[in-house]
Amino acid sequence: MSITVREAMQLNQFKHIHLVAGEKGLESLIERIGILDYEIVEGIKGAFFKGDFVLTTFTAARNNLELLKSSIEDLIDCGISALAIKTIYYKELPLSIIELANKKGLPIFMFDDRLFFEYIIEDLVDAMHARSHMDLLSSKIEILFKSELKRNLVGEIAKEINRNFLNHHVTIFIREKQYRNDESLMKLCERYQRSRYRSIHQSLIKYVDGMILILSYDNLSMQSVELDFNFILQQLGISLEQYWIGISETKSSLNELDMAIKESVYATYACEHLKQDRAEYKAIGIYKILLPYQRDFWLNHFIKTTLDPIYLYDQGKLMETARVYIETGGDIKRTSEILFQHINTIRYRINKIQALMDEKNQGSFYEQLSLAIKAEKITMKNL
């Protein structure tokens, strides 16, 4: 149950709190919240630990800069995640303390007496509980994606994710094209959880570098799915241009939720290879079989034995021709235009590739080359 200091800065009460030092420590995890008061007299070390977010007025160190500095040094030695000082006795900190906090990576915040400790604590606790719950949901999604479970167990896990799920459902995986970090995705999911417009029969859960949206219904129609999906995007302010979208086939039982999740994830990863922003699982073709076997030994062995002779022939130049040839659907004229080569040069290169593969049948040659090149692309990215 933890959030980073940087994530805490996005909370409502932190709008009134100012970071004055220690910016390089913003990725530290907050696991507990503590108040520093009498410990200055009785001894700080042993009272606070790594992961603590400490609130204080430094009452015991008022008018005593040496005690203030030694107290902050002790807090740094304890490994706390951040320190927030109410500006009752100290309106600003000495430069030596600012420099120390910057050097050690201890974020120090300051706030005035209009903000109560209780408000900050409540905000942090709520955020930590929400993050803990989201992490739990993400772990259940991962189990469904990575495991082959009995149908009834899948249904039980589905109800653990959301007890209000209805049987008919579809899953949509929303994946960032330029993945930044987990924070932005987590914030979107948490905002959705807090939305008063959210249907109790729907869930949005962060998963790896994207978000799983599960839409369930008594009676499912793709028109309803489209309307709900577009409404959710609008509510969250999500711009489709920044994401790949993968949509599962419709399912009539929660015992099939694992299939729906896998289909949506595979469809999303197929988008990149198909050069399109959105894909339905039923339309991703050969990637239905390639993506689930991304790490399979025999698939990778097939890639290696098929493509290595082409790579080794001329340090990869021939391989460029092979890729464009497959991307153009075997169109030699179009391949020559893209590569700015005479069509006869391309014909010669294709014939050379076929000879290196030792495949005399033209149809089989194209089929194997296409499969190997597409399979190689999917093995370069981890699901």
What is the residue extent of each domain of the chain? 3-115, 150-286, 294-379
* pLDDT score of 39: 62
For the whole model, what pTM was predicted? 0.71
Domain 3-115 top-level CATH class? alpha beta
- At residue 275, φ and ψ (nearest 5 deg) are 55, 50
DSSP string covering 330-380, please? S-HHHHHHHHT--HHHHHHHHHHHHHHTT---HHHHHHHHHHHHHHHHHHT
Q: Which DSSP symbol is given to 28?
A: P
Cα-Cα-Cα-Cα dihedral of 107, 113, 119, 125, to 10°? 20
Architecture per CATH, domain 150-286, reads as 2-Layer Sandwich (3.30)
The pLDDT tens digits for 113-162 are 889 999 999 989 888 887 778 888 999 999 999 988 999 999 999 999 99
Alpha-carbon gap, residue 238 to 176, rounded angstroms:
10
- pLDDT at 17 > cutoff 90: yes
Is the predicted pLDDT of residue 88 greater than 80, yes or no? Answer: yes
DSSP string, 220-253: --HHHHHHHHHHHHHHHT--GGGEEEEEPPPBSS
pLDDT at 227 over 90: yes
Per-residue pLDDT, averaged over 315-325, amounts to 89
Q: How far apart are CA 22 and CA 325, in angstroms?
A: 54
Give the span between the Cα atoms of 382 and 39, in whole angstroms. Answer: 49
Q: 136-143: long-range contacts (C-beta < 8 A, 24 or more apart)?
A: 137/161, 137/203, 137/205, 138/205, 138/206, 138/207, 141/205, 141/207, 141/212, 141/261, 142/207
According to CATH, what is the number of the domain 294-379?
A: 1.10.10.2840
Whether residue 339 contacts residue 328, with contact meaning beta carbons closer than 8 Å, is answered with no
In the predicted model, what is the mean pLDDT of residues 37-60?
A: 84
pLDDT (0 to 100) of residue 347? 93
Would the pLDDT of 41 be above 60?
no
Q: Going by C-beta distance under 8 Å and a sequence separation of 6 or more, which residues neighbour residue 79?
A: 49, 50, 51
Q: What six digits make up the tokens of 366?
A: 């194209």
**Of 5-9, 168-172, 315-319, 349-353, which one has max mean pLDDT?**
168-172
**Any bridge partners for residue 56, and if so which?**
36, 85
Q: What is the pLDDT of residues 178-199, one digit of tens each?
A: 877 777 888 888 888 878 888 9
Within 13 Å and on the Cβ side, how many CA atoms surround 22? Answer: 26
Q: What is the pLDDT of residue 132?
A: 79
pLDDT mean over 276-291: 94
Asked whether residue 276 carries a pLDDT value surpassing 90, the answer given is yes
Check residue 164 and give its pLDDT.
96
Q: Which amino acid is at 370?
A: S
